Structure 1
Amino acid sequence: AMAGLGLRVIAFTRGEGAPGADPGAAEGLSFLGLVGLIDPPRPEVKAAVEAARRAGIRVIMVTGDGALTAQAIARQIGLAVDRPIEGAELDAMDDAALRAALEGEVLFARTTPAHKMRLVKALQARGEIVAMTGDGVNDAPALKQADIGIAMGMRGTDVARDAADLVLLDDNFATIVRAIREGRRQFENLRKFVRYLLSSNAGEVLAIVANLLMGGPLILLAPQILWMNLVTDGITAVALGAERATPGTMNRPPRAAGEGVIGRAGLAMILAFAAYTGLATLWVFGHFLAAGDAALARTAAFTAMIFFEKFSVFAFRSFHHANFTIGWFSNRLLIGALGLSLGAQLAAVYWPPLQGLLHTVPLGLEHWAVIGLLVVPLIVVPEAVKLLRRAG
């Protein structure tokens, strides 16, 4: 009954023995009573276990406590358990039986460090990515074997910390779940950064190569290309990498182990934006070149390319949610970078020192009207696609 409440039960006896007698002998002892000890789970652990479940992360309890105590703790933290398996039963299982047991909701009690090593290997054999926590010297081999070994920073031994990939400074399971959320945010932001820069650069390459194949004046000059890549693109891309986690980050299953940063969907997105940016810029150049002023047409194309790239960044802020959901101005760093980049381009068009450096001329309202109209699809179409996808 006490173990069923999550208590670790110690029996106390008393007795007298001859000097040198075996202290473990049970003869002649009088039972005094039972003492129950409890190490209650932290209040935030239950919510963390549920968050892990929603994120597609399976939590398996492996403990040295008895099965009744372990099941009681599992109930307290909301961990579903259909079958407890103690160390002796685990020793009697062959690998096939263990793999079958791991298909269900199990916990492992009365285990030793050797059992932990076997469980890590069994899960990895099923293609799972395994993270394991441990604090003792004997946990070091299993921590090393796991894909991610997590040692306790407060009560863990030096050996365990050295063998682990991560050290949990507060010994709190909820911190692991928060770290997973932050890791997903950073990986998603890395994807945004890479996809955005590739789409921008690919659009520039498309416009330049197509212009060369068509012949005629150059659409962009070397100083203008350097200006785009060194002054405007980098600022916006870095700010994009500071996006907060989007809604639902912890409601999606983990990505596949071999999934790359770009991916098929990312490649399609890069090609679509590059095609629009490159071809629209090429059209702007040809449209204004018809008037016979190559410098004016080049300045319009140069400015159009930068405005296309800057406003397309909103499509890369989230791959699942529209800006109406996450907030157009929620990333203040991005808004600041966008304003700075666009302001720098206005200076490049109208400030004489930069005009001479970049070979630009002032643009009129008719030029801005054309550029503005071509910017609109880069904002409206991605938003509409995301909203329709969510609605479906």
Structure 2
Amino acid sequence: MNISILQEAFSAFIRTHGLERHFQRLAVFDIGKRSEADNALASTLTKKLISASNTPAEALLYSLGTHADGLTELQVASIREEAGFNEVGQAKILRWWMHLWHCYKNPFSLLLTVLATISYFTDDAKGAIVIGSMVALGTLIRFMQESRSNKAAEKLKAMVSNTATVLRRSVTEDVLGTTREYFSLPEQRHQLHKIEIPINLLVPGDIIALSAGDMIPADVRLLTAKHLFVSQAAMTGESLPVEKFTQQTVEDISNPLDRDNLCFMGTNVISGAATAVIVSTGKNTYFGMLADRVLKTDRSPTAFQRGVNEVSWLLIRFMLVMVPMVLMINGFTKHDWWSASLFALSIAVGLTPEMLLMIVTATLAKGAIYLSRKKVIVKRLDAIQNFGAMNVLCTDKTGTLTQDKIFLERHTDIFGVASDNVLDYAYLNSYHQTGLKNLLDVAVLEHVELQSKLNVASCFRKIDEIPFDFQRRRMSVIVSERDDRHLLICKGAVDEILSVCSNVHMHGTTSALTSELLERIRKVTGALNEEGLRVVAVAARECRPNTESYDVKDEAELTLFGYIAFLDPPKESTAPAIDALQRHGVKVKVLTGDNDKVTAKVCREVGLAFDAILLGAQVEAMSDAELAVAVENYDIFAKLTPLHKERIVRALRQGDHIVGFLGDGINDAPALRAADIGISVDSAVDIAKEAADIILLEKSLLVLEQGVMEGRKTFANMLKYTKMSASSNFGNVFSVLLASVFLPFLPMLPLQLLVQNLLYDFSQVAIPLDNVDPESLAMPQRWNSGEIGRFMLFFGPMSSVFDIATFGLMWYVFRANSPDTQTLFQSGWFVEGLLTQTLIVHMIRTRKIPFVQSRASWPLLATTATIMAVGIFLPMGPFAEYFNLQALPLSYFGWLAAILLGYMLLTQAMKSFYARRYGWDSAPPKRMLRPRKISIGSGEGVISQ
């Protein structure tokens, strides 16, 4: 398994399952709460990291057997033999026999084993064989299905990988030698390569380059760092990023996490750039030790699993009521407490949908494989159900609603007149920056003719840079054209650039920035925004060449030269995709850091209706209660920071919505983590992919809509089985309870009841492959144990009406009314009970008329037909005596046909009544409020439509 999946799993544990207390500061290094082995390992790790922090860089490189320009491939191979791959501790793949044991060791299998053992020691060998066969078959089915599902999931996970930028050297074979010899090689004897490799191939001693958006792939010591801010939230629980430096200023800090020059696997770069040497990899990292602790901790259930558990407990509560009643009634009326106890145990098994977990796993695996063909990679199978349950989709604008290709449309002075000077400055800025190059930089750099015009390589020497961050929303480079001056060129969001400008360049001269000019500037940029152009301001100032290092404070007293304006046209597929999602009950909300005017134009072009836009500044001023109201009323949010996006997603979730978030940037990572289902793309930055549950190989809302529908189909089939099995089993047990009151013998032997239950379960193994009515896919659905309980109580006893009719038939017509003729009675009810249970599959799988308006898939038709045939064959064939059954008179089957026809007609009529009164599918989430203009905080929503 690649490291990205393990990181995702680790982050998911922290943020979702209440394990924060295990991963806060000092979690690993607080050795007092750990075993002796863990204490020793933690102590060793602490000493190693502290030593790496305190050791001078050159000495550290020497001790690691590396060089400032990296390792050779020969050295890498040698180190990997000792250190292994850069993979953290992970759940080991179980050997097949251990997997088989895990498939067996569930309460239902253990209960059946007890029954088989009791049967064997009570001289009922045939019963023991049959029950034992049930256990073996049930275990094998689950084993085979889970093995297939796990293999499919691993193949899907393997498609999602991350890389790191590493420095490697190639050395001619005749000069290869020991590490000391290698350090003394002349510069011309080796070549430096900066390459991208999978992060599981990194080894201690590798030199890596880091920039904004990168996931730190190992525990590292910084060699160079420029305005490097790292998020350590996954490790420490602190939401704010921390700045890292090359030197440790305070030497007596004992906690490695507080060290200035150390970074850790699993954290991520927010802004800035750095180079670092890898100190530890894999299980020997801080992250590796935390992951090991997680693997030793029982995993808390996900939201999906909690839904399944609610349904399971519902069935258990029914069992706790019904089983004692059956035991007491049969014990007092038959005076055979031993048989009554066995029968009550059989009832307990009969009430339980033993195949639920197998059906769920198979259905999820099928959905994941289907989605992989639609260019959707499911990293966590449970996410499929959340995909279908999603009723709010929050999405970024750039590259999602719009094309991934941004075009540089204009370059103008402050008055909107074309200016080559502005383009020259923008090109120098984009060319020399080493941070995360976004699509705007790519669009600027496509003007390759400027490279020769400006003589970028020979005339301009880069001095320094001030990297971009999401608070300043701008970045600067400092270049030198002549030795007597430095030129600081800054580009960024218009408001943020204006905040550090004191002058403007117009008509070839520099003038002070007055309020009149500021108003005119805002009109010019506003007009560009109204045209749907994204405007980036460009400013500069000359600096004296008395320093080689610049900081944010140097971004002051700048001169505004003009703007570069970009066109980000909407995708052709966006409008129909939004329409399809909204028709299917998914409300689309746009959360973007872009300005409101550009956002408004794009949203209008793609048909996304709105009355107002809420700005990030307004979100900042709101309390949580105010924001909870605002997120219901607004669909478009602009000029947001990453934390604003996260707050909005959390507010929607607290409003009882199932929220998906689609994003691919660094600024989307917090919201991806906060959403019920994080959706990213394969081209996203590392941290966005790590935070996501689902990866799209094609950044299109149409692909997303297909995934939503498959998620709903998956859930619909799981819900079918739960409803069918729960109502059918309850009806069967209810009939047993009624019969036990009046009959002088057991209405069905424990063995017969178990065989009937096994056959019924087999009739439903094809449900994951079943068709789903379009009506069931129209709206999001969730687990609703209350609705399932009502369904169970409504349809379960209805089958008892026909069971009682069968009792009367066998008692009065066929004279099976004494202990001597009980075998005939039990055979008659065995066949009728199995056939009605099997038919209920087709009756309840759809609200429509079965076989006519809605037809099951051919695998489900085949399995149910086969089981019905087997049910009739057992009492009529040569194996009847093994199950204490006997052949039924041919006239019985005429009566049976009439009972089955009546059962189907009544069920269909009651379905219509039930659907009109309660609805057929699980209740959809509450209706979204109508967007409207509201006044919040210090200002009013921006009216844009």
Within 5 Å, give how 1:255-334 maps onto structure 2: 255=781, 259-260=784-785, 263-288=788-813, 290=815, 293-318=821-846, 320-323=847-850, 326-328=853-855, 330-334=856-860
Per-residue deviation, 1:143? 1.5
**Match among 752, 759, 774 for residue 224 of structure 1:** 752
Query: Residue in 2 aligned with 1:235?
Result: 762
**Within the alignment, does 1:341 sit opposite 2:867 as a pair?**
yes
**Match among 632, 647, 650 for residue 118 of structure 1:** 647
SS of equivalent to 2:657: coil
Q: Over residues 318-364 of structure 1, what are the superposed CA-to-partner deviations in whole Å (9 max), with x where a residue is unaligned? A: 2x333266433x42112101211122123213222x12222333223
Within 5 Å, give how 1:130-145 maps onto structure 2: 130-145=659-674
Quote the Cα distance in structure 2 between the aligned partners of 1:201 and 1:106. 46
Per-residue deviation, 1:233? 0.4
Quote the Cα distance in structure 1 between the aligned partners of 2:746 and 2:626. 70
**Within the alignment, does 1:157 sit opposite 2:685 as a pair?**
yes
Change (3 A) 1:186 1:270: farther
Q: Is the CA contact (8 Å cut-off) linking 2:577 and 2:701 kept in structure 1?
A: yes
**Match among 712, 727, 748 for residue 199 of structure 1:** 727
SS of equivalent to 2:772: coil
What letter matches 1:11 in structure 2? H
What letter matches 2:567 in structure 1? L
Q: Is the CA contact (8 Å cut-off) linking 1:207 and 1:281 kept in structure 2?
A: no
**Match among 351, 354, 365 for residue 877 of structure 2:** 351
Change (3 A) 1:382 1:278: closer
Which structure features the higher share of helix residues? Answer: 1
Q: Is the CA contact (8 Å cut-off) linking 2:803 and 2:832 kept in structure 1?
A: no
Change (3 A) 1:288 1:218: farther
Q: Is the CA contact (8 Å cut-off) linking 2:727 and 2:796 kept in structure 1?
A: yes
Quote the Cα distance in structure 2 between the aligned partners of 1:33 and 1:119. 31
Query: Residue in 2 aligned with 1:11?
Result: 411
Change (3 A) 1:261 1:181: farther
Change (3 A) 1:244 1:261: farther
**Match among 22, 40, 61 for residue 488 of structure 2:** 22
SS of equivalent to 1:211: helix
Change (3 A) 1:159 1:29: farther
Change (3 A) 1:173 1:22: same
Within 5 Å, give how 1:352-367 maps onto structure 2: 352=878, 354-367=879-892
What letter matches 2:901 in structure 1? V
SS of equivalent to 1:21: strand
Change (3 A) 1:286 1:169: farther
Q: Over residues 50-72 of structure 1, what are the superposed CA-to-partner deviations in whole Å (9 max), with x where a residue is unaligned? A: 23222332211112333232223
TM-score (normalised: structure 2): 0.37
What is the RMSD of the two structures over their aligned residues, measured on CA atoms? 3.2
**Within the alignment, does 1:37 sit opposite 2:547 as a pair?**
no
Change (3 A) 1:191 1:140: same
Q: Is the CA contact (8 Å cut-off) linking 2:799 and 2:836 kept in structure 1?
A: no
Q: Is the CA contact (8 Å cut-off) linking 1:311 and 1:378 kept in structure 2?
A: no
What letter matches 2:866 in structure 1? L
Per-residue deviation, 1:28? 5.8
Aligned length: 379
Change (3 A) 1:270 1:237: farther
Query: Residue in 2 aligned with 1:3?
Result: none
SS of equivalent to 1:364: coil
**Within the alignment, does 1:248 sit opposite 2:714 as a pair?**
no
Change (3 A) 1:314 1:132: same
Per-residue deviation, 1:245? 2.3
Q: Over residues 16-40 of structure 1, what are the superposed CA-to-partner deviations in whole Å (9 max), with x where a residue is unaligned? A: 9983133247436878996543243
Within 5 Å, give how 1:86-101 maps onto structure 2: 86-95=615-624, 98-101=627-630
SS of equivalent to 2:488: coil
Per-residue deviation, 1:193? 0.8
What letter matches 1:247 in structure 2? P
Quote the Cα distance in structure 1 between the aligned partners of 2:908 and 2:752. 30
Per-residue deviation, 1:182? 2.1
Query: Residue in 2 aligned with 1:66?
Result: 595
Query: Residue in 1 aligned with 2:707?
Result: 179
What letter matches 1:239 in structure 2? A
Per-residue deviation, 1:260? 2.3
Q: Is the CA contact (8 Å cut-off) linking 1:288 and 1:297 kept in structure 2?
A: no
Q: Is the CA contact (8 Å cut-off) linking 2:642 and 2:671 kept in structure 1?
A: yes
Q: Is the CA contact (8 Å cut-off) linking 1:135 and 1:156 kept in structure 2?
A: yes
Quote the Cα distance in structure 2 between the aligned partners of 1:70 and 1:205. 60
SS of equivalent to 2:652: helix
SS of equivalent to 2:661: strand
Q: Is the CA contact (8 Å cut-off) linking 2:732 and 2:796 kept in structure 1?
A: no
Q: Over residues 351-392 of structure 1, what are the superposed CA-to-partner deviations in whole Å (9 max), with x where a residue is unaligned? A: 22x122223332233211111111112211232344577899
Change (3 A) 1:207 1:115: closer
Per-residue deviation, 1:125? 3.9
Q: Is the CA contact (8 Å cut-off) linking 1:48 and 1:173 kept in structure 2?
A: yes
What letter matches 2:675 in structure 1? A
What letter matches 1:129 in structure 2? I
**Within the alignment, does 1:169 sit opposite 2:697 as a pair?**
yes
Q: Is the CA contact (8 Å cut-off) linking 1:281 and 1:305 kept in structure 2?
A: no
Alignment gaps of 5+ in structure 2:
1-401, 413-418, 426-480, 491-500, 509-560, 918-945
SS of equivalent to 1:323: coil
Per-residue deviation, 1:197? 1.7
Change (3 A) 1:150 1:123: same
Q: Which moved more, 1:22-31 or 1:363-372?
A: 22-31
What letter matches 1:237 in structure 2? Q
Quote the Cα distance in structure 1 between the aligned partners of 2:777 and 2:736. 42
What letter matches 1:275 in structure 2? S
Q: Is the CA contact (8 Å cut-off) linking 1:151 and 1:168 kept in structure 2?
A: yes
SS of equivalent to 2:614: strand
The sequence identity of aligned pairs, in percent, is 25
Change (3 A) 1:191 1:100: closer
Quote the Cα distance in structure 2 between the aligned partners of 1:128 and 1:371. 48
Q: Determine which structure has more spread, i.e. the larger CA radius of gyration.
A: 2
Quote the Cα distance in structure 2 between the aligned partners of 1:389 and 1:308. 19
Change (3 A) 1:375 1:34: same
What letter matches 2:648 in structure 1? L
Query: Residue in 1 aligned with 2:736?
Result: 208
SS of equivalent to 2:770: coil
Per-residue deviation, 1:261? 7.5
SS of equivalent to 2:864: helix
Q: Over residues 158-182 of structure 1, what are the superposed CA-to-partner deviations in whole Å (9 max), with x where a residue is unaligned? A: 2122222322332222233322222
Change (3 A) 1:273 1:61: same
Query: Residue in 1 aligned with 2:893?
Result: 368
Change (3 A) 1:287 1:192: farther
Quote the Cα distance in structure 1 between the aligned partners of 2:736 and 2:766. 27
Change (3 A) 1:239 1:378: farther
